[in-house]
């Protein structure tokens, strides 16, 4: 799982959700992968899928019997399906995914007895560490988003006063707009003057 966590850090460094996966056969690491759907513009570029593709190329076979996958986040339904098609023997995941987890959190794709291949699943391995990495990533992303919105509005944590706006407008070469003084209006008894064009 430590190798999967290292791959997850590669995803974080690339600005992607930090999920990493490692595919092994016995003691041999066949492939690693990290999440990168944003940078690759590919919704299927989850860590598991990247590792599966690399392993299939390396072994020159799309079926990977006897292989085990270690991943920092519970696989989604797409990844679970691909893992079954690849004939992965065992999946070991870290943090549970209460929104899209397909190993028991939302659905249990591997528990269907009608499937022609059965994968063993173990979850919650280094769950606290894997979950903390994801939580810190999303906390940082939310903070950066708040700061960007505040900067777009011209906020710096301080309230901008009308006087400060006026000074800023003057510095930019614009006169501060003052409300027009109340000018006399014709009384309701006098008709408005009409000037021929």
Indicate which residues carry an active-site annotation. 48
Do the annotations mark residue 46 as ligand-binding?
Answer: yes
Helix (H) or strand (E) holding 186: none
Residue 79 labeled ligand binder:
yes
As a whole number of angstroms, the distance between CA 36 and CA 50 comes to 9
Report the distance separating Cα 90 and Cα 86, nearest Å: 11
Please report, to the nearest 10 degrees, the dihedral formed by the alpha carbons of residues 47, 52, 55, 56 taken in order: -150
CA distance 52 to 39: 19
Burial 79-89 (b: 16+ CB within 10 A, else e): bbebbbebbbb
C-alpha to C-alpha distance for 86 and 127, rounded to whole angstroms: 25
Residue 130 labeled ligand binder: no
Annotated binding site: 46, 76, 79
Q: Write out the binding residues for Zn(2+).
A: 46, 76, 79
């Amino acid at each position: 799982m430590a190798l999967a966590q290292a791959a997850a850090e590669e995803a974080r460094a690339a600005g992607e959700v930090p999920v990493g996966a490692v595919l092994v056969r016995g003691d041999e690491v066949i492939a690693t992968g990290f999440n990168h759907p944003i940078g690759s513009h590919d919704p299927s570029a989850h860590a598991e899928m990247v590792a599966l593709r690399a392993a299939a190329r390396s072994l020159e076979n799309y079926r990977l019997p006897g292989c085990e996958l270690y991943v920092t986040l519970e696989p989604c339904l797409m990844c679970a399906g691909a893992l079954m098609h690849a004939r992965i023997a065992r999946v070991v995941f870290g943090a549970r995914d209460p929104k899209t987890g397909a190993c028991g959190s939302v659905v249990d794709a591997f528990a269907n007895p009608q499937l022609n291949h059965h994968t063993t699943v173990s979850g919650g391995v280094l769950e606290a560490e894997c979950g903390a990495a994801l939580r810190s990533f999303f906390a940082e992303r939310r903070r950066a988003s708040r700061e960007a919105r505040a900067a777009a509005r011209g906020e710096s944590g301080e309230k901008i006063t009308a006087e400060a706006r006026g000074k800023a407008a003057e510095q930019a070469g614009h006169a501060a707009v003052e409300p027009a003084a109340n000018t006399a209006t014709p009384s309701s008894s006098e008709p408005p003057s009409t000037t021929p064009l």
